[in-house]
Amino acid sequence: MPNQAMSDRLAGVGASPGRAAGPVYRKAEPPTFDSLTPQQRELDAPVTAEQAIAALCAVSDDLAHRSASARNRGRGVAADVLRTQSMIAADSTLANDVTARIAAGRDGSEAIAEAIERYKELLTTHGGYLAERAADLDDIRHRALAYALELPQPGVPDPGRPFILVADDLFPSDTALLDPTSVIALVTRRGGPTSHTAILAKSLGIPAVVGCAGALDLADGAVVSVDGSTGQVRRVSAKQAARIQDHARLARERLAATTGPGRTRDGHPVPLLLNIGSAADVQGVDQLEGVGLFRTEFLYLGRSDTPSATDQEQAYHEVFAAVGPRKVVLRTLDAGADKPLPFLSMPDEANPALGVRGIRVTRNRPELLTSQLEAVAAAAKARDADVWVMAPMVTTRAEAEAFATQVHAAGLDMAGVMIEVPAAALQAHRILEVVDFLSIGTNDLSQYTLAADRTNAELADLLDHWQPALLQLIGACAAAGTAAGKPVGVCGEAASDPVLALVLVGLGITTLSMSPPSVAAVRASLARHTLDQCRHLADLALAARDAAEARATVAASTAAES
Partner 1 sequence: MISREVTIGSRIGLHGRPAAAVVDLAAGLPVPVHITMNGRTADARSIISVLALGARGGDVVTVHAEGDTAEGALDTVVALLARDLDAEPGDV
**72: contact with partner 1 by CB under 8 A:** no
Q: Is 411 helix (H, G, I), strand (E, B) or coil?
A: coil
Provide the minimum distance between the beta carbon of 119 and partner 1 in the complex, in angstroms, as a whole number.
5
491: annotated active-site residue: yes
Work out how close the CB of 80 gets to partner 1 at its nearest, in angstroms, rounded to a whole number. Answer: 5
Query: Applying CB under 8 A, does 53 fall inside the site for partner 1?
Result: no
Binding part of the chain for partner 1, among 4-12, 86-94, 383-391, 405-413 by CB under 8 A, reads 86-94
Backbone φ and ψ for 522, nearest 5 degrees, come out as -65, -45
Question: At its nearest, how many Å lie between partner 1 and the CB of residue 366?
Answer: 48
Taking the C-alpha atoms of residue 210 and residue 17, their distance in angstroms, rounded to an integer, is: 12
DSSP 489-550: EE-SGGGGSTTHHHHHHHHT--EEEE-GGGHHHHHHHHHTS-HHHHHHHHHHHHH-SSHHHH
C-alpha 511/C-alpha 529 separation (Å) is 16
Closest to 334 measured CA to CA, from 368, 369, 358, 361: 358
Q: Does 381 bind partner 1 (CB under 8 A)?
A: no
| Selection from 134, 142, 28, 32 nearest residue 84 by Cα | 134
Q: Which of 411, 336, 328, 408 lies closest to 368, judged by CA? A: 336
In the complex, the smallest distance separating the C-beta of residue 183 from partner 1, rounded to whole angstroms, is 20
Would you count residue 117 as binding partner 1 (CB under 8 A)? no
Q: How far is the CB of 109 from partner 1 (least distance, A)?
A: 20
Q: Which of 126, 249, 303, 381 binds partner 1 (CB under 8 A)?
A: 126
Contact segment (CB under 8 A) with partner 1 among 90-98, 354-362, 392-400, 495-503 equals 90-98
Residue 202 or 339: the one with the smaller Cβ distance to partner 1 is 202
Helix, coil or strand: residue 417: strand
**Separation CA 9–CA 224 (nearest Å):** 9
Say which of 196, 317, 465, 529 is annotated catalytic.
196
Query: By three-state DSSP, how is residue 68 classified?
Result: helix
Q: How many residues bind partner 1 (CB under 8 A)?
A: 24
Query: Alpha helix locations (H) across 258-336?
Result: 309-323
Closer of 170 and 544 to partner 1 (Cβ) = 170
Closest CA to 502 of 466, 467, 470, 477: 466
Report the residue number, 139 or 399, with the smaller CB distance to partner 1: 139
Q: Please, what is the minimum distance in Å from the beta carbon of residue 197 to partner 1?
A: 16
Q: b/e string for 156-165 if b means 16 or more Cβ within 10 A?
A: beeeeebbbb
Contact predicate 494/464, CB 8 Å: no
- Least distance (Å) between residue 245 CB and partner 1: 28
Distance (Å, whole) CA 494 – CA 467: 11
Question: Is residue 52 close enough to count as binding partner 1 by CB under 8 A?
Answer: no
Q: How far apart are CA 421 and CA 473, in angstroms?
A: 10
- Note whether 530 binds partner 1 by CB under 8 A: no
Among 103, 130, 309, 423, which residue sits at the site for partner 1 (rule: CB under 8 A)? 130
Among 7, 35, 50, 87, binds partner 1 (CB under 8 A): 87
Residue 552 lies near partner 1 (rule: CB under 8 A): no
Please report whether residue 119 would count as binding partner 1 according to CB under 8 A: yes
The answer to the question of residue 74 lying near partner 1 (CB under 8 A) is: yes
144/480 with CB nearer partner 1 = 144
Query: What SS3 class is residue 142?
Result: helix
Active-site choice (142, 212, 477, 491)? 491
Which residues lie below 8 Å from residue 246, measured CB to CB, with a gap of 6+? Answer: none
For the chain, the residue count is 562
Nearer to partner 1, 87 or 103 (CB): 87
Helix spans in 324-462 (H): 366-383, 397-409, 422-426, 428-431, 442-449
> Which stretch, 117-125, 144-152, 514-522, 535-543, contacts partner 1 (CB under 8 A)?
117-125
Of 119 and 298, the one with the shorter C-beta distance to partner 1 is 119
Instruction: Supply the minimum distance, in Å, between the C-beta of residue 130 and partner 1.
Output: 6
Sign of the CA dihedral running 85, 90, 91, 94: positive
CA distance 210 to 188: 5
Please pick, from the candidates 94, 165, 176, 223, the single residue that binds partner 1 as defined by CB under 8 A. 94
Q: What 3 state SS string does 419-454 have?
A: ECCHHHHHCHHHHCCCCCEEEECHHHHHHHHCCCCC
The single residue among 92, 181, 345, 562 that binds partner 1, judged by CB under 8 A, is: 92
Residues 6+ apart with CB under 8 A from 268: 505, 530, 531
- Establish whether 477 is a catalytic residue: no
Query: Least Å distance between CB 179 and partner 1?
Result: 18
Residue from the set 10, 47, 49, 88 that interacts with partner 1 by CB under 8 A: 88
Return the amino acid letter for 226: V
Q: Which of 43, 76, 517, 532 binds partner 1 (CB under 8 A)?
A: 76
Name the residue nearer to partner 1 (CB basis): 79 or 344. 79
Would you count residue 129 as binding partner 1 (CB under 8 A)? yes
Site of interaction with partner 1 (CB under 8 A) = 71, 74-77, 79-81, 83-84, 87-88, 91-94, 119, 122-123, 125-126, 129-130, 133
The catalytic site residues sit at 196, 491
